[in-house]
């Protein structure tokens, strides 16, 4: 299979390209510069959607992961505009390019996020749950809607609603490691808010799975089957690192430091389950948090984890 990948230099994209090539597929990064001589890549301009050199086809499948980083010091108006344009506008323009090809790709896997569901409290959320409210919910809804023209063209579209991706190489976990290793980690807010997480290995596994599973289309939650509360995540990470977790971050302090981003990323509660992945028999490599953290950090399994299979 020939698979074009946007965001191929990011945490997920770089791992995906390596996995595709290891599995015998041809992975073609979509890059924002002129490819180097001999480089197996295509130039992609997010501001126009153009892919060059132009041809009758780009790939059998496209995995679209590119977008402005969500995390930052604060969500200023300009930051939020860049986030939306890099996802909603860029996706719509990319889809326009793909649908105008003489031979469009058969599959488009487009990143989205569990932010789609907004604040869910203790309620269980699946792909059939309604959209929530807030900046991230509006963003995810519009981001997914930007793929509508591809669906109308007959392309099989999967909107991959990603949870918190666990990897020591980047993302949320990497940002937590220094304070936790210094013994400065602790629960955020009350700690009762649910976190829906997924190991990086399972993100890649899920993408490969949806590429080859014709029955999967529309929203697919890319989360592990065992979400945890923030308090449980904190205790588990502290146990894996062998460090105390005694310094909580009160909600008011999080809001003071991060503003709106604190409510949407740290204090919101999302108990999301991967209903469609499980129904299609995707075999999770790391279904439980402690095992996922130990694998990500290269830590030895604890005795209790070995006995329980976690």
For the chain, how far is it from start to end, CA to CA, in angstroms?
34
Question: What's the confidence (pLDDT) of residue 300?
Answer: 59
Which pTM value belongs to this model?
0.94
Domain range spanning residue 217? 2-299
- Give 302's pLDDT tier (boundaries 50, 70, 90): low
* Inside any domain, residue 163: yes
Residue 307 has pLDDT above 50, yes or no: no
Q: What is the C-alpha to C-alpha distance for residues 181 and 176, in angstroms, rounded to an integer?
A: 9
Q: Examine residue 310 and state whether it is found in any structural domain, yes or no.
A: no
- pLDDT of 310 > 60? The answer is no
Contact predicate 19/208, CB 8 Å: yes
Average pLDDT over residues 46-73: 92
Number of domains observed in the structure of the chain: 1
Asked if residue 231 belongs to a domain, the reply is yes
Is residue 308 included in any domain, yes or no? no
* Complete DSSP assignment for the chain: -EEEEETTTSHHHHHHHHHHHHTT-EEEEEESSPPPTT-S-EEE-TTT--EES--S-S-SEEEE-----S-SS---HHHHHHHHIIIIIHHHHHHHHHHTSSS--SEEEEEEEGGGG---TT-EE-TTSPP--SHHHHHHHHHHHTTHHHHHTT-EEEEEEE-EEE-TTSHHHHHHHHHHHTT----BTTS-SEE-EEEHHHHHHHHHHHHH-TT--EEEEES-S--EEHHHHHHHHHHHHT------B-HHHHHHHHTHHIIIIII---EE--HHHHHTT---S--SHHHHHHHHHTPPPPHHHHHHT-
Structure confidence by residue, pLDDT tens digits, 129-178 = 999 999 999 999 999 999 999 999 999 999 999 999 999 999 999 999 99
In a domain, 57, yes or no: yes
Residues in the chain: 310
Q: Is residue 306 part of a domain?
A: no
Please, are residues 119 and 268 in contact by the beta-carbon 8 Å criterion? yes
Q: Is residue 304 part of a domain?
A: no
* Domain assignment of residue 89, yes or no: yes
User: Which CATH number goes with the domain that contains 255?
Assistant: 3.40.50.720
């Amino acid at each position: 299979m020939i698979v074009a990948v946007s965001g191929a230099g990011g945490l997920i994209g770089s791992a995906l390209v390596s996995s595709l090539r290891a599995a015998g597929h041809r992975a073609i990064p979509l890059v924002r510069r002129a490819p180097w001589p001999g480089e197996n890549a295509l130039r992609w301009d997010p501001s126009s959607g153009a892919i060059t050199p132009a041809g009758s086809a780009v790939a059998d499948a496209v995995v679209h992961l590119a977008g402005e980083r969500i995390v930052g010091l604060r969500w200023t108006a300009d930051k939020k505009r860049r986030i939306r344009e890099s996802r909603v506008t860029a996706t719509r323009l990319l889809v326009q390019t793909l649908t105008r090809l003489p031979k469009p790709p058969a599959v488009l896997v487009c990143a989205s996020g569990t932010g789609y569901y907004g604040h869910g409290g203790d309620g269980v959320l699946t792909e059939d749950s309604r959209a929530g409210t807030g900046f991230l919910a509006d963003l995810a809804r519009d981001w997914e809607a930007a793929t509508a023209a591809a669906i109308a063209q007959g392309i099989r579209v999967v909107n991959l609603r990603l949870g918190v991706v666990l990897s020591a190489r980047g993302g949320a976990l990497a940002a937590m490691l220094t304070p936790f290793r210094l013994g400065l980690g602790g629960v955020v807010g009350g700690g009762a808010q649910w976190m829906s997480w997924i190991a990086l290995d399972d993100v890649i596994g899920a993408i490969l799975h949806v590429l080859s599973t014709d029955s999967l289309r529309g929203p697919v939650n890319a989360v592990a089957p065992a979400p945890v509360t923030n308090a449980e995540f904190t205790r588990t990470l502290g146990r894996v690192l062998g460090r105390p977790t005694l310094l909580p971050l009160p909600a008011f302090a999080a809001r003071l430091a991060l503003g709106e981003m604190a409510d949407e990323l740290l204090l919101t509660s999302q108990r999301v389950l991967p209903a469609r992945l499980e129904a299609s028999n995707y075999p999770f490599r790391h279904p439980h948090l402690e095992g996922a953290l130990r694998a990500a950090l290269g830590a030895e399994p604890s005795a209790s984890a070995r006995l329980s299979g976690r």
